A and B are shown apart, each in its own frame.
Chain A
Amino acid sequence: MFEKIVFQIIAFDELRTDFKSPIDQCNPVHARERLRNIERICFLLRKLVLPEYSIHSLFCIMFLCAQEWLTLGLNVPLLFYHFWRYFRCPADSSELAYDPPAVMNADTLSYCQKEAWCKLAFYLLSFFYYLYCMIYTLVSS
């Protein structure tokens, strides 16, 4: 999970920065590479969306089964966010988010980036929390 998010962050960073010099960017040959790059990244990102969401939902279900109400409560908002994000996509479009033509719009990109950072923080914190809970239960039992 973390890896995924870390990858996301790296990916957005890569999208944002273009290492080539400005003149080079204007170059038609570079255009193709760049486009390929964007497409590749978007494709990867898109492939990762569903697994991420499903793993998270799986966790939630497990919490539900274990009757960990507090933990579940912490995770539910994110779960709903994922649902919203998944179903909000325009009805006709067969794709999820991360549409190559749209992703480079600065606001979309910065939104995605922010989202990725927030999720990273959330997952990290919850990881330690789970760890703590686990150790706590182990010790107390």
Chain B
Amino acid sequence: MSAPAGLPPRPPAAMYPAGPAASREAAAAEGGAPRCHNGPVQSPMQFPAGYGSHPPNYSAPSGHYSQVPSKAVSPHVDNQYGASYHSSYYSAPAQNVMAPSVGPNVLNTRESQQFYHKPPHAAGPAEGPVQGAIPPAPYLHTSAPQSYSAFGNHYSTSVSSSVASQGFPLNSDHYALPVVSSAVYPNVSYPPAATGSMYGQAFTSQSLPAAGQFKETNMLSSPSTSVPHSLQQHVPVGYNSTLSTVSSAQPVQDNLSRNLTGSVAKVNNQINTGGVESLQPVHSASQSVQFTKPGVGTSASPAVISSARTSASGLSSQPRSSPSVTQPPESALQEAIDSSSTTSSASPVLNNYDALEGGGYPETRSVTSSPVPAPAAPQTSKTSKPFGYGYPALQPGYQNTAPPTPVQQPSNPGHHPGFQHYPQQYPGVNQLSSSLGGLSLQHSQQPEGLRPVNLTQDRNILPVSSVPAPVPNLNSDLRKLNCSPDSFRCTLTNIPQTQALLNKAKLPLGLLLHPFRDLTQLPVITSSTIVRCRSCRTYINPFVSFIDQRRWKCNLCYRVNDVPEEFMYNPLTRSYGEPHKRPEVQNSTVEFIASSDYMLRPPQPAVYLFVLDVSHNAVEAGYLTILCNSLLENLDKLPGDSRTRIGFITFDSTVHFYNLQEGLSQPQMLIVSDIDDIFLPTPDSLLVNLHESKELIKDLLNAFPNMFTNTRETHSALGPALQAAFKLMSPTGGRISVFQTQLPSLGAGLLHSREDPNQRSSTKVVQHLGPATDFYKKLALDCSGQQIAVDLFLLSSQYSDLASLACMSKYSAGCIYYYPSFHHIHNPAQAEKLQKDLKRYLTRKIGFEAVMRIRCTKGLSIHTFHGNFFVRSTDLLSLANVNPDAGFAVQMSIEESLADTSLVCFQTALLYTSSKGERRIRVHTLCLPVVNSLADVYAGADVQAVVCLLANMAVDRSVSSSLSDARDALVNAVVDSLSAYMSTASNLQQSMLIAPNSLKLFPLYVLALLKQKAFRTGTSTRLDDRVYAMCQIKSQPLIHLMKMIHPNLYRIDKLTDESTIHVNDRVVPQPPLQKLSAEKLTREGAFLMDCGSAFYIWIGKNCDNNFIKDVLGYPNYASVPQKMTQLPEVVALSSERTRSFIAWLRDNRPLSPVLQVIKDENPAKTEFFQHLIEDRTEAAFSYYEFLLHIQQQICK
């Protein structure tokens, strides 16, 4: 942070790395507000017919925009405060945490401006050194934070600009946005962002005309401020947002722009004239700014005023208050992503604090800001916690239309991107889909989730875009504060009061967690005391109530606790006595930096050990080349710090170690052939420091692919190699990555083939789903005890007994990757997948020696956990490693009646050591209402969560009992719940199969599960494939699991501009979801199926030649090759659209799926058709038959 002092204003152009983009923005600016339209215009197609009838929703946003003018706001002072406070920590620079001392210096250097943001690129290198944790060089530019801090008492407020990775390939212009003075930001009315962005809306970005005058005035007047070139405005426009209505969009913008200009000017003046004391401006800022821009810089907060922000959205200045709420700079980045695609995306993911930790993520996209609604909401009622339960009378969604806050109205469905994981604002969104489905029940008085749907008659039950998560029926304040459904979902968003009621509903009660998800914005809090309940150790969270200034009441055990002195001080507003405005209480997802109480031994370094199969089989498959190349490429990106260590072990019938000690001229290979009693030849030089021995490691990696080419060794001594790996790692803990290509055949843990190929399609008993030996489980438990996780990559062409091998990962919290019939030449799709998976695997964030504890309100109890971990105590999961792609599920029961409470809360706390050696605690809190009627329980059912939990339970059942039992249990789950529902609604005719709207997809999903590889019978399924699917079900987070269960099918040969969304300036078409049925496949069309881990493009025989020519790059159908895994870049509109659509789908997930083009004769065709789950197969029902079957069962 040294660099910035007195930085001269930079010539704007020079700073923008993405020149063209910048100019494009400028151009846009000049052209009036051309880009502005992007947002609103989107996807008109999806307008719900009845939508217009709810003016309040719609008007809300515009209303709040108009408030934007910064001055306006007196009435909202409170809010503003909240907002600014909030936002301020969003992107607080991580550096502060690490090098707090920097602050003061900086401060001195700069008087007039507290915060300065530098344009990204320039900033990077200069500032690099400042950062406490030194990120590897390449990453430097990802975060170029500067912070200037003023220390008050023990708190410092500092702002850093986090420059989102500008150098990355995917930058869009937003990114490149010219320097925007931060002052401007405040004007931009963004609702303060909520971390989880649960209720956030997606905004598309608009670049407002950045008035020329701004440029000049600002530039000139504020010397050190970098000049805003253009403002980037983000108008909240939903992706879907059809609603947002094209027509009204315009006015809004006008408003905006006007306001902006006005206020900006004003702000600037303040700054310039003021030269003010650092604090002062802050204040004024916060007052004048009604909204801060959330994500991004989000921090438009107070500090913003004084700061000059360069940067467009991505870069933001972030004032950070130092009791330290910091936010990794990356957030900006991620946010960008989000906004571009969805607000909260689990997706493409950057690792949260990677920037801060130096582990960057290569694929960044443009940043647009996606505002997320602010938790900052009006805090007036914090203490009282009103519980709005307006269910029957009022569509809950509409309740928030009136809030005094400028906060964006969550109730507007239009603002939702249609993502699956995207939170649904209110049940009414279903209306949207249902109205499209030909039913218009727009005004029905009963909650939308309860509207009866006749399944046998209503064929179009799939929503147009993906299925949103239901939103708990809480009042708007709580709703805004609630945890994002991406991280935390409950199968019943209305918790039944008693176990009896739950039993009546016949739905499972449980939670689906994705705790270590890559987040867009995450408040990071460093404070000497972490406030927790004294009796149940719950972390303080937004749902506690403050009895008075000095006491708070725990929302889980109801104990009254004291508020510690330190907590009384609110660093951002610098006010005393407002504990309810601290970030911990404003965000349901926060991360604490733990004090030394939370560690007994020093945090472990990042240690990676690769255990590689080099037998003949492995060499034939050729994975070594891919792995070594991948490692070489990503060696610098491995998460870690200067202590990072790495090692390699290879094995065939013997175990080979590699001495990589610094100082050797070349790597030394040590062969141990005594596999019965394995020992480490030179224990201290096998795991070496990555940075000190980098050259040797590179040599070794270059040599690997050729070292074993002539091997004749066919045996594989996996067991002994793992024992050796365990010995090697046990002093430190860390991660072991095992690459195995065949059945282990030597030494401990040897396995025999148990699969009978003739039984693959048997409808009877499927055996051998459990492990054949205890060896791997015991090893995993030992590993877990030593904080070692074992990740398994199984690349085999034959049966390798995954059921036994998977145990090594299951109980050590590792992950499992399986590439059936892998061959680097013959199977390019798998090779490409391995390559992409490895890239993600090597660079993603990682947490070591983690434990996760899930607490819930008294009366509820958790009884079963699903996922990869070891259950150390009844509520404590031990995770040797935790990775951002791991999901967990828990089942709960209601032990005591919840009649005396209206809300229940769940809290997961994940304590882990980051790759930088910090002990951190990530806390998610979810709050749900309690109901006492069966109807309300059904109204709040979250069908996706229910199905995922059932899938987890079914896996357990099939291992402990039998597969057919599990299948029966799945069918019974549907039958029971639907019949229970039908018996509650007495007026329904028994002859029809009726489901509540919230569960209308339930039979479809369960049918999909029954046809899923894990549970299907009758269709030929290899045992390993089946076991792998089961492992996936247990360990995938909900969004990925849903794609696996029920893929999305789109027709892509006629992509139009209708209903497009704009992401990073790419136009992304949004074709409607198709039913998974062959009836939808026409010979004239081309279809894209998104299965989560793979994309299939199916081309009909009579597909338009233009499409084949433009998109696939071949003259006609006949010339399209069999193995095609990539779309060529053809300059044609349809090609661009298709590619941008696929790219957009890919952006939303961590693992980049492999694309396969399928013609009629292609062998992959069967795979594709197996996913068409609504059709009949020899062994299974069609959807309609399944419904009839259920109906029959119900009537029995």
Decide whether A and B are members of one complex: yes
CA distance A30 to B870 in the complex (A): 14
A3 interface residue per 8 A CB criterion: no
A137 interface residue per 8 A CB criterion: no
Q: Which residues of A contact B872 (CB under 8 A)?
A: 25, 31, 34-35, 38, 104
Q: Is there contact, CB below 8 Å, between A35 and B863?
A: no
B948 interface residue per 8 A CB criterion: no
Q: Which residues of B contact A107 (CB under 8 A)?
A: 863-864, 891
CA distance A95 to B960 in the complex (A): 13
Taking the closest CB of chain B, its distance from the CB of A84, in whole angstroms, is 13
* CB proximity to A under 8 Å, residues B842-876: 849, 851, 853, 861-865, 870-876
A22 and B785 in contact (CB under 8 A), knowing A28-B733, A31-B872, A92-B772?
Answer: no
Which of B26-34, B598-606, B1080-1088 is the contact stretch? B598-606
CA distance A16 to B861 in the complex (A): 14
Q: Is there contact, CB below 8 Å, between A90 and B770?
A: yes
Q: Is there contact, CB below 8 Å, between B878 and A35?
A: yes
Q: Which residues of B contact A92 (CB under 8 A)?
A: 754, 767-772, 803
A91 and B770 in contact (CB under 8 A), knowing A31-B878, A109-B874?
Answer: yes
CB-based nearest A residue for B603? A28
Q: Which residues of A contact B862 (CB under 8 A)?
A: 106
How many residues of chain A get a CB closer than 8 Å to chain B's CBs?
34
Q: Is there contact, CB below 8 Å, between A93 and B785?
A: no
A23 interface residue per 8 A CB criterion: yes
Q: Which residues of A contact B863 (CB under 8 A)?
A: 105-107, 110
Picked from A28, A29, A34, the residue with its CB within 8 Å of the CB of B873 is A34
Q: Is there contact, CB below 8 Å, between A100 and B781?
A: yes
Q: Is there contact, CB below 8 Å, between B770 and A104?
A: no
CA distance A100 to B773 in the complex (A): 15
Most buried by B among A22, A24, A26: A26
Q: Is there contact, CB below 8 Å, between A26 and B598?
A: yes
Q: Is there contact, CB below 8 Å, between A93 and B874?
A: no
CA distance A105 to B869 in the complex (A): 12
Q: Is there contact, CB below 8 Å, between A31 and B600?
A: no
Q: Which residues of B contact A28 (CB under 8 A)?
A: 599-601, 604, 733, 787, 849
Q: Could you give, for residues 765-809 of chain B, a 1 whenever the CB lies within 8 Å of some chain A CB and a 0 otherwise?
A: 001111111100100010011110000000000000001000000
Q: Which residues of B contact A100 (CB under 8 A)?
A: 781, 870
CA distance A44 to B60 in the complex (A): 66
CA distance A90 to B871 in the complex (A): 20
A52 interface residue per 8 A CB criterion: no
B537 interface residue per 8 A CB criterion: yes
CA distance A21 to B195 in the complex (A): 31
Q: Could you give, for residues 106-141 of chain A, a 1 whenever the CB lies within 8 Å of some chain B CB and a 0 otherwise?
A: 110110000000000000000000000000000000
CB-based nearest B residue for A109? B874
A94 interface residue per 8 A CB criterion: yes
Q: Could you give, for residues 566-593 of chain B, a 1 whenever the CB lies within 8 Å of some chain A CB and a 0 otherwise?
A: 0000000000000000000000000000
Picked from B754, B787, B864, the residue with its CB within 8 Å of the CB of A31 is B787
A67 interface residue per 8 A CB criterion: no
Q: Which residues of B contact A29 (CB under 8 A)?
A: 600-601
* CB proximity to B under 8 Å, residues A20-52: 22-32, 34-36, 38-39
B911 interface residue per 8 A CB criterion: yes
A90 and B774 in contact (CB under 8 A), knowing A31-B787, A104-B873, A105-B865?
Answer: no
A101 and B781 in contact (CB under 8 A), knowing A26-B911, A35-B872?
Answer: yes
CA distance A104 to B781 in the complex (A): 13
Q: Is there contact, CB below 8 Å, between B864 and A90?
A: no
Q: Which residues of B contact A31 (CB under 8 A)?
A: 784-785, 787, 849, 851, 872, 878
Taking the closest CB of chain B, its distance from the CB of A39, in whole angstroms, is 7
Taking the closest CB of chain B, its distance from the CB of A28, in whole angstroms, is 4
A23 and B864 in contact (CB under 8 A), knowing A32-B786, A92-B803, A95-B774?
Answer: no
Q: Is there contact, CB below 8 Å, between B784 and A27?
A: no
A35 and B870 in contact (CB under 8 A), knowing A91-B767, A100-B781, A106-B864?
Answer: yes
CA distance A79 to B767 in the complex (A): 28
B963 interface residue per 8 A CB criterion: no
Q: Which residues of A contact B875 (CB under 8 A)?
A: 106
Taking the closest CB of chain A, its distance from the CB of B502, in whole angstroms, is 15
* CB proximity to A under 8 Å, residues B601-630: 601, 604
Q: Which residues of B contact A106 (CB under 8 A)?
A: 861-864, 874-875
B684 interface residue per 8 A CB criterion: no
B1161 interface residue per 8 A CB criterion: no
CA distance A109 to B864 in the complex (A): 10
B548 interface residue per 8 A CB criterion: no
Q: Could you give, for residues 737-775 of chain B, a 1 whenever the CB lies within 8 Å of some chain A CB and a 0 otherwise?
A: 000000000000000001000000000000111111110
Q: Is there contact, CB below 8 Å, between A90 and B873?
A: no
CA distance A42 to B862 in the complex (A): 22
A25 and B861 in contact (CB under 8 A), knowing A91-B767, A94-B773?
Answer: no
CB-based nearest B residue for A18? B873
Q: Which residues of A contact B873 (CB under 8 A)?
A: 18, 25, 34, 104
CA distance A35 to B877 in the complex (A): 12
Picked from B599, B601, B786, B876, the residue with its CB within 8 Å of the CB of A25 is B876
Q: Which residues of B contact A35 (CB under 8 A)?
A: 781, 784-785, 870, 872, 878
Q: Which residues of B contact A101 (CB under 8 A)?
A: 777, 781, 810-811, 870-871
CA distance A102 to B863 in the complex (A): 11
B900 interface residue per 8 A CB criterion: no
Most buried by B among A94, A99, A106: A106
Q: Is there contact, CB below 8 Å, between B601 and A23?
A: no
CB-based nearest B residue for A89? B960
| A and B contact pairs by CB, cutoff 8 A, 22 listed | A18-B873, A22-B537, A23-B597, A23-B598, A26-B598, A28-B849, A29-B600, A31-B787, A31-B872, A35-B870, A35-B878, A90-B960, A91-B767, A92-B803, A93-B774, A101-B777, A101-B870, A101-B871, A106-B861, A106-B864, A106-B874, A107-B863
Q: Which residues of B contact A (CB under 8 A)?
A: 537, 597-601, 604, 733, 754, 767-774, 777, 781, 784-787, 803, 810-811, 849, 851, 853, 861-865, 870-876, 878, 891, 911, 959-960
Nearest 6 A/B pairs, CB to CB: A104-B871, A92-B770, A106-B863, A35-B785, A107-B863, A32-B785
Sample of 14 further A-B pairs with CB below 8 A, known A23-B598, A105-B871: A18-B876, A23-B597, A27-B600, A28-B849, A35-B781, A35-B784, A93-B774, A95-B774, A99-B777, A100-B781, A106-B861, A106-B875, A107-B891, A110-B863
